[in-house]
């Protein structure tokens, strides 16, 4: 069993990951409506990845003889100005997740919960990759026109993206 404060924080992150999944689905819907199905696919994959992350927290809580507690999800942002707005929102969301993971690491360290620290290592690496990915996509998008040739090439590339296990 874990200290109650840590269990609550892990449950909060379990739900934060579900909320991130929910938000990425809304972003996919934005692109689907515009006919950019490759970008929609990219975001649907992001949504599934976030759900997998949530389930890692679920499994860890169960392993530690704690109960995963689902909370209400908030309505995600559904309206965006353009593709860049979606991407910048994505990066902001990932930065929030990173901040939450760091807070969990700090709490686990203070409580000397070494198993939790070990569990969270994977998430630190994952967040570094996620933030870099969105920074790189934003850098590419900064120099192109939405709907233009290179944008459509990116759309085609994102259509090929598959969920990794």
- The response to whether 129 counts as a known ligand-binding position is no
Is 127 annotated among the ligand-binding residues?
yes
Cα 80 to the chain's mean position, in Å? 18
Contact 148, 84 (CB under 8 A): no
Distance CA 152, CA 163 (A): 21
The rounded distance, in Å, linking the Cα atoms of 121 and 136 is 23
Would the annotation count 37 as a binding residue?
A: no
Q: Which two tokens stand for residue 122?
A: 């994977």
Q: What is the dihedral of CA 23, 26, 30, 35, to 10 degrees?
A: 120
Q: Confirm if 127 and 65 have CB atoms less than 8 A apart.
A: no
Output the known binding site for Fe cation: 17, 50, 53, 94, 127
Output the known binding site: 17, 50, 53, 94, 127
């Amino acid at each position: 069993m874990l200290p109650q404060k840590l269990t609550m924080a892990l449950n909060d992150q379990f739900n934060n990951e579900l909320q991130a999944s929910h938000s990425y689905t809304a972003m996919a819907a934005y692109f689907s409506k515009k006919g950019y199905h490759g970008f929609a696919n990219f975001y649907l994959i992001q949504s599934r990845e976030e759900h997998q992350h949530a389930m890692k927290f679920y499994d860890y809580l169960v392993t530690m003889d704690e109960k995963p507690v689902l909370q209400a999800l908030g309505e995600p942002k559904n309206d965006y100005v353009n593709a860049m707005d979606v991407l910048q929102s994505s990066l902001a969301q990932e930065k929030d997740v990173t901040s939450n993971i760091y807070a969990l690491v700090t709490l686990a360290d203070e409580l000397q919960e070494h198993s939790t620290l070990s569990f969270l290592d994977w998430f630190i690496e994952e967040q570094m990759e996620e933030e870099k990915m969105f920074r790189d996509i934003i850098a590419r998008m900064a120099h192109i026109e939405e709907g233009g040739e290179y944008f459509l090439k990116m759309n085609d590339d994102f259509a090929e993206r598959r969920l990794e296990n």
